[in-house]
Amino acid sequence: MTMTVTPPTATPADPPAVTSDGRVVGRRNHRVLLHVGLVAGLILMIGPFVFMALGSFKTTGELRQVPPTFLPEDPTVANYRDLFDRLDFPRYFFNSTVVALAVTAGNLLFCSMLGYALAKLEFAGKRVVFVLVLATLMVPAIVTFMPLFVLISNMGLANTHAGLILPFVVGALGVFLMRQFIGGIPDELLDAARIDGAGEYTIFFKIVLPLCGPALATLAILTFLGSWNSFLWPLVVASTEDMYTLPVALSLFSIGQQETNVALQMAGALVVVLPVVILFFAMQRFITQGIATTGIK
Amino acid sequence: MAPAKYSFMACSSEAGRRGRSSGQRSLRVLAVGVVFALVVAGCGRDDEDDADAPPDASGETSDGTAGTSDGTTSDGTTGDDTSGSAAEGSISVWAMGTEGENLDVLAEDFMAEFPDVSVEVTAVPWDAAHDRIVNSIAGGEVPDVSLIGSTWMGEFAKLGGLEPTPENIDPSQFFEGSWDTTVVDGVSYGVPWYVETRLIYYRTDLAEDGGFNQAPANWDELTQLVQAQADAGAEFGISLLPGGIGSWQTYMPFFWQAGGEILDDAGDFALGSDACVEALTFYDSFFEEGLAPSAVSDVPVEAGFTNGDVGAFISGPWMIGVVTDAGADPATWTVARQPTEAAGTSFVGGGNLAVFEQSDNKAAAWAFVEYLSRPEVQVKWYETVKDLPSVQAAWDDPALADDELVAAFGDQLEDAKSAPAIPNWEQIASAIDDQIEVVTAGETTPEDGCAAMQQEAESIGTGL
Amino acid sequence: MTAIIATESIAATPTAPPRRSRPSRKQNLVGWSFALPFFAMFVVFMAGPIVVSLITSLTDLRSTDIRSPFGVNFVGFDNYVDVFSDPKFRKAAVNTAIFVVVGVPLTMSLGLLAAVALNQGIVKFRRVFRLGFYLPVVTSIVAIAVVWRFLLGADSGLVNGLLDQVGIDGPAWLTDTKYALPSLIVMAAWKNLGFSMIVFLAALQSIPVDLYEAAAVDGAKSWQPFRYITLPLLRPTILFVSVITTIGYVQFFEEPLVMTQGGPLDATLSVTYHAYNQFSFGNYGYTAAVSYVMFVAIALVSFILFRLLRPNT
C-alpha cells in the first residue's frame, strides 16, 4: 500500500479528459450542463431560505395570508427591532460563542489525540476504547439526559458556562472522523520521523495535525454548529436569562401555550444562522486547501 | 416487608435528601454516579408503604422528611401562615412565554410594597418548560415560584416537588373548576393564576343566511347552526380537531355535557361510559357528514373564519385577538356558550402558580403568589397580557365586565371542568387524542373508541 | 496504487500492520497518554450516564420517583417485553426502518452528487454553491419547519400551487397517511445532504489529480473514472458517512416533531419520537428500554456496514 499526498495544486483538479477537438466541444456541453444542474440544485436548496429571509420583513398578518405572498407587501424591520429590543442580544451571543468555541476546541484537541492513538499507536485496550466510544454514538441522547443533568447539578455546575460546555467537550463523532483520516497518513512518513528521533508528541503536533487540515476543518464546523444550534441542554442547564444561549432565548418567542409569532421566529432564525454562515464561508477554504498547502510530496 | 423497608431507607438517606453543604454535595455525586449502579437492585418500591403514606411522594416520608400534607416541611418553615411572617430576602420566579416576558411589571409593584423582598423573574420558553421543571426538581436547582401548566400539577405534586397551599389562601375566591387543577389527591399545591375556557366562535351573518338566528342551546341546535353555516356557503360548517395533540380539550366538554365524568366517585376511570359513546358519536357526526374538515388545514382557522370558508370553531379567549387581527368584521361573528344537555360544561385550562418544596424562601414566595391573586393585580395582569383572571372578584372590573366577548368567557368559567390532577394525565390524554383521530378517520366506531380509551386509561393508571 | 484514507474495519485488521506484537510498556504509556484526556471526560460525561440509564431500563423508574430514585423496583426485562408488545412501538419501528432504508441512500447519493459536481475544476462560484448546499444543515429545524409547512401545505402550499398551474390536484402532503412519511424523507434528505457533501468533498480533494490524468491517457470514458477511481478511493469515507447518517436517521425525530407531531394516525411516528413521548409522560424505565433496543439495532446495522464497506484486500 503506497501513498501519495496530493501535490500542491493552486486550483482543484481539472476534469479528467482534455485532448482532441471533439473533447473540447463535449467539455463545453458538460460545463453548461453541470452549471445548469448546480444552479437548479442551488435554487431548491436556498429557495426556502430566501422565503424565510423575505418573511422576516413581513408582518404577522401578511404571513398568515392565504395564498402566501412572496415579496413583502409592506416591508418592515419591526420584527428585528422587536427582537433586539426584547432580548439582550450581546449577552446571548457571547454565551453561545464562548460555549461553541470551547466545545470546538476541546473536540479538536481531544478527538484528534485519541484518533491518532487509535489509528497509529499500539496500546493495551485500544480496541475496547474504540468500540466503547463508537457505541456511545449509538445511544440516543435523550436517554442520558436526566442522569447527566443530575450529575452536572451535583457538581455545582448548573447554570454555569462549564455546565454548558463540559458534557460536550469530547464527542464520539470526532474520534471516528479523526481516526478515519489519520489512518490514511502513510506510516512511512511517521516512521521516518521516528528514525530521526522525534517523539510521538512531536510527530503528532508537527506532522499529523498539519496533515489533517480538511478533517479538522470539517470537525470544527460540525462541532461548532452542533453546539451553536443545541437547544435542549442549554435550556435545562441555564436557569437564569444571563446564561441563555441564542436558540434558547429565541424560543421565548413562542408567545403562549397556544400561539407562536412566525414573523419573529423567521427574523430570529436568520439572526442565529448568519454568524454561522459567515463562519462557514470563511472556513471552507481550509477544507479544500488543507492538504494542498502542507507541501508534502 | 421489613428488609425491603430497611434497604429503602438506607438508599434514600444517601441520595434522597438535598443537603446544601459541599460535603454532602460530593457525597451525592458519589451516590448518583456510583451507588445507584451498585445498590439499585437492593432497593425496591415499597408498595405497602406507598399505599399507607400521606398523600405526597412516598419517598419523601420514608427518607425522614416530615409529611408535607400538614403544611410543615423538613426545614421547619411552616407553610400555613405567610401573612404573619415578614417576607424578606430574594426569590426567583419562572414564567413561560408572554407571562415570563411581562411579569417584571408586577414584580416591580410587588417590590414597591414589600421592599425587603427582591424578585428575580426568568422567562422560560414553553417548548420544554415541563422537562426543565422535572430536571430542576431532580437536580435540586429549583426556583422558588413557577408558573405551572394546569395539567402538570398531578405529576409535580406526586414528585414531591411542590409545597402545599397555605390555609390562609381561600379556595372560594377562584373559579371552582380551576381550583380543582391544584388539588392532587385531596391536597392543594398552588393557586390558579390565569384561566382560559373554550367557547363556540361562529359567524352570525352566515348563520342568519342559513336560517338560524340564536346561540345554540343544545346539541341539536349546534348541529342546526353548523348546518346553517354550510347552507349559507361555508365550505365547512365547523372546524373541529380531527385528532392530534390537545384534541381531547375540544372533545371533553361534550363528554361532560352528556353527563360523563373522567373519574368516578371511587377514583376509577369512567372514560368508556355511555356518555362517551354519545359524545364521541356526536363529535364524529360532523366529520361523517362532511361538515368538519377531516384533516387540520394549513390555512389557519382564523383565515378561513374571516373569509367565510369556516362557519364556526371551538377555541379559547386568545382567538378573540387572532380573529380580530385576521380582519374579521366584528359585526359578523360572536362567541356562544357550550350547548347544554345533561350539563353545559366547558373545559378550563390555564396556568397555576406553585411554590417549590425545595425553595429556601417559602414565606416570600407565598407572599408573591398571594399578591398575584389580588383582584386588582389580576385586573392589571389582564390589561398587561390579556390573561383572564382566575379570581372571580376581578371579573367585576369594567375592563372585563364591559367587554361582551370577554364576559362570555367569564360566564362559561362558572361551569367549566379540568382534567383530574393525576400524574399520568398527559399520557391518558394522548391516548384519548389517538382514539378521537381513529374514530373521526372512520377507522373504528365510537363504541370501540370509547372502549379503547377506557382500556388504555386503566392500563396506564392514575399514577397516584 | 494509492490509498489516501486507508482504513480498516473494527472487526479484524489492526491498524498498523507491521506492529502486531503485544505493545510494550512504553507503547502503552504513550498510547494512553494520548487516549486518557478524552477517555477521562468520556467516562464521566458519557459512559457514566449511559450506564445509569441502562440500569434504569431494568427498573420501573418514573418521573414521580426522581427525588428518591432508589425507591424503585427492579423489574428485570419487563420494560423490554412491554416495548415489543406495544403496537405503537411496532408501528414506529416500521416507519423508522422505511425512513432509514430510503432516506440514507437518497441523502448520501445526493450529497455525493453535489460533491462530485462541485469538485469539477470548471465550476464557477464554487464557494457559493457549497455554502448554499450546506445551508439547510446549519439552520434550526424550527425555522425550516416554518418554511416547509408553507411549501407542503395542502390548501395554500407552494408545491400544490405549482401543481395546480399544470392542472394537477396535489395531495395533502403532510396530513395524508400515504404521503406524510415520504414527504418527511424528502425533507430530511434536503436538510442533511450538505453533511455528506462536505465530508465527501474533503475526501475528493485528497484524491490526486494525476490518477484521473492517467486514466484519461488510458482512454477511460464518461463515468469510468468515477466508477473505478473515485468510488473505490471514497470507500472509507462512504463507510464513515453511511455509519454517521444511519445512526442519525435511526434516531429520526425532529422532522415529525415539528411537521406532523407523528401523525396522521401515527404515520410519521418514529422510534425516537415514541421514546420522547414516553419520556415526557415520565416513563423513564420504558424510555431507556426503547433506547437500548434502538442501540442494538444501530449497532447491528453499523456492524453490517463495516463488513460491507471493509476495504478490499
Chain A residue nearest residue B321, CA to CA: A259
Containing B197, the helix (H) or strand (E) segment is strand B191-197
pLDDT band at A290 (very low <50, low <70, confident <90, very high): very low
Q: Using the predicted structure, report yes or no on whether residue C4 has a pLDDT greater than 50.
A: no
pLDDT band at A26 (very low <50, low <70, confident <90, very high): low
Q: Which of B446, A45, A75 is nearest to C117 (CA)?
A: A45
Give yes or no for C48 touching B (CB within 8 A).
yes
Return d(Cα B109, Cα C154) in angstroms, integer: 49
Give yes or no for B299 touching C (CB within 8 A).
yes
Over the stretch B143-168, which tens digit does the pLDDT of each residue have? 999 999 888 899 899 888 899 999 98
Lowest mean pLDDT among A76-85, A139-148, B198-207: A139-148
pLDDT of residue A66: 62
pLDDT over 90, % of chain B:
61
Mutate to test the interface with B, among A144, A154, A253, A259 (most CBs of B within 10 A): A154
Chain B residue nearest residue A248, CA to CA: B125
pLDDT band at A148 (very low <50, low <70, confident <90, very high): confident
- State how far residue B429 is from chain A, nearest Cα, in angstroms: 16
Give yes or no for A281 touching C (CB within 8 A).
yes
Letter for the amino acid at B152? Answer: W
- Say what angle helices C180-205 and C231-250 make with each other, to 10 degrees: 140
Q: Nearest Cβ partner of A45 from C135, C143, C302? A: C135
Return d(Cα A273, Cα A277) in angstroms, integer: 6
Q: Using the predicted structure, report yes or no on whether residue A94 has a pLDDT greater than 80.
A: yes
Q: Nearest Cβ partner of A257 from B120, B126, B136? A: B126
Cβ-proximal residues to C44 (8 Å cutoff; 6+ apart), any chain: A151
Over the stretch B291-343, which tens digit does the pLDDT of each residue have? 999 888 878 888 899 989 999 999 999 899 889 888 889 999 999 999 999 99
Over the stretch A43-82, which tens digit does the pLDDT of each residue have? 888 888 888 888 888 887 777 666 667 788 888 888 888 8
B14-29 mean pLDDT: 35
Letter for the amino acid at B104? Answer: D
A54 vs B345, more confident:
B345
Over the stretch C166-177, which tens digit does the pLDDT of each residue have? 888 888 888 888
- Across chain C, mean pLDDT equals 82
Cβ atoms within 10 Å of C265's Cβ, excluding its own: 17
Q: Using the predicted structure, report yes or no on whether residue B73 has a pLDDT greater than 70.
A: no
A22-26 mean pLDDT: 46
Chain B residue nearest residue C152, CA to CA: B298
- State how far residue B385 is from chain A, nearest Cα, in angstroms: 10
Q: Which of B309, B301, B363 is nearest to B77 (CA)?
A: B363
Chain C residue nearest residue B456, CA to CA: C86
B164-177 mean pLDDT: 93
Lowest mean pLDDT among B180-194, C42-56, C180-194: C42-56
At residue B421, what are phi and psi to the nearest 5 degrees?
A: -80, 80
Query: Is C67 within 8 Å of B45 when comparing Cβ atoms?
Result: no
Give yes or no for A62 touching C (CB within 8 A).
no
Chain C residue nearest residue A114, CA to CA: C35
The pTM of this model reads 0.80
pLDDT of residue A185: 81
At residue A199, what are phi and psi to the nearest 5 degrees?
A: -80, 170
- 3-class DSSP state for residue C202? helix
B contact residues 158-197, partner C, Cβ 8 Å cutoff: 158-161
pLDDT of residue A198: 84
Mutate to test the interface with A, among C159, C206, C227 (most CBs of A within 10 A): C206
Give yes or no for A133 touching C (CB within 8 A).
yes
- DSSP per residue, chain A: -B--PPPP-SSPPPPS---SHHHHHHHHHHHHHHHHHHHHHHHHHHHHHHHHHHHTTS-HHHHH-SSPPSS-SS---HHHHHHHHHS-HHHHHHHHHHHHHHHHHHHHHHHHHHHHHHHH---TTHHHHHHHHHHHTTS-GGGGHHHHHHHHHHTT-TTSHHHHHGGGSS-HHHHHHHHHHHTTS-HHHHHHHHHTT--HHHIIIIIIHHHTHHHHHHHHHHHHHHHHH--HHHHHH--SGGG--HHHHHGGGS-SSS---HHHHHHHHHHHHHHHHHHHHHHHHHHHHTTGGG---
Return d(Cα B302, Cα C153) in angstroms, integer: 16
Judged on CB neighbours under 10 Å (0-12, 13-18, 19+), A81 is exposed
pLDDT of residue B7: 28
Cβ-proximal residues to A186 (8 Å cutoff; 6+ apart), any chain: A2, A3, A5
Over the stretch B351-378, which tens digit does the pLDDT of each residue have? 999 999 999 999 999 999 999 999 999 9
Give yes or no for C157 touching B (CB within 8 A).
yes
pLDDT of residue C11: 33
A248 vs B193, more confident:
B193
Query: Is C47 within 8 Å of A167 when comparing Cβ atoms?
Result: no
In angstroms, the first-to-last Cα distance of chain C is: 13
pLDDT of residue C8: 34
Query: Is B127 within 8 Å of A240 when comparing Cβ atoms?
Result: no
Mutate to test the interface with C, among B1, B35, B45, B60 (most CBs of C within 10 A): B45
Return d(Cα B426, Cα A4) in angstroms, integer: 61
Contact B237, B411 (CB under 8 A): no
Give yes or no for C82 touching B (CB within 8 A).
no
User: Which residues of chain B are within 8 Å of residue A143 when distances are taken between CB atoms?
Assistant: none
Give yes or no for A42 touching C (CB within 8 A).
yes
pLDDT band at B415 (very low <50, low <70, confident <90, very high): very high
Query: Is C4 within 8 Å of A3 when comparing Cβ atoms?
Result: yes
Q: Which of B115, B85, B151, B139 is nearest to B366 (CA)?
A: B85
pLDDT band at A25 (very low <50, low <70, confident <90, very high): very low
- State how far residue B299 is from chain C, nearest Cα, in angstroms: 6
Give yes or no for C105 touching B (CB within 8 A).
no
Over the stretch C80-119, which tens digit does the pLDDT of each residue have? 998 999 999 999 999 999 999 999 999 999 999 999 888 8
pLDDT of residue C73: 81
Return d(Cα B175, Cα B393) in angstroms, integer: 10
Contacting partners of chain A (3+ CB pairs under 8 A): B, C
Give yes or no for A286 touching C (CB within 8 A).
no
